[in-house]
Amino acid sequence: MATGSNRKTKQRDALVSVLERAERPLSVAELLEAASKRIEGLGVATVYRAVGALLDDGRIDAVEIPGEPTRYERSDKGHHHHFQCEKCDRVFDIAGCLDNLRKLVPPKFRVKQHSVMLYGVCATCSR
Ligand SMILES: [Zn+2]
Ligand SMILES: [Zn+2]
């Protein structure tokens, strides 16, 4: 089964490199569209399986957005947040974080984690 697993490895590497080139989180549908140009005969079930394996390996992270299909991104990006365009639905990375989150909570509350999601219109759609 060496050729089978070899093909799987190739498919996974191709999906990771698609995510690297995209520089923004992609849904399974977006991944499939982008990767099928490079991998012949790629189907949605294969993408789901590869995404599951890449999550298990820690090579990619899931980006959960309420009411939206999960997006996936490389796991080595460091702390950042996301922006979703309300016209094209694409999700983009935004660098950095908000300052002084601790000041938003009452005294003696401890903030342990946070999530920040910005919504608006991307540069392409605002033209
Ligand atoms: Zn847009
Ligand atoms: Zn943050």
Asked if residues 69 and 27 have their Cβ atoms less than 8 Å apart, the reply is yes
Q: What's the pLDDT tens digit per position in 36-74?
A: 888 888 889 989 988 999 999 999 999 999 899 999 999
pLDDT greater at residue 107 or residue 11: 107
Q: What ligand has the least distance to the C-alpha of 79?
A: 2
Q: How far is residue 67's CA from residue 117's CA, in Å, rounded to a whole number?
A: 13
Could you state, in order of their start, the residue ranges of all structural domains in the chain? 2-74, 80-126
Q: How far is residue 112's CA from residue 102's CA, in Å, rounded to a whole number?
A: 10
| C-alpha 82 – ligand 1 centre gap (Å) | 13
| C-alpha 111 – ligand 2 centre gap (Å) | 12
What is the distance between the terminal CA atoms of the chain, rounded to a whole angstrom? 51
Strand partners for 80? 95
Give yes or no on whether 2-74 and 80-126 have one common fold.
no
Asked if residues 60 and 16 have their Cβ atoms less than 8 Å apart, the reply is yes
The CATH class, in words, for 80-126 is: alpha beta
Paired tokens of 82: 């996301």
Q: What ligand has the least distance to the C-alpha of 113?
A: 2
Q: What's the pLDDT tens digit per position in 81-117?
A: 999 999 999 999 998 898 888 889 999 999 898 989 9
| C-alpha 88 – ligand 1 centre gap (Å) | 4
Strand partners for 81? 94
- For the domain covering 2-74, report its CATH number: 1.10.10.10
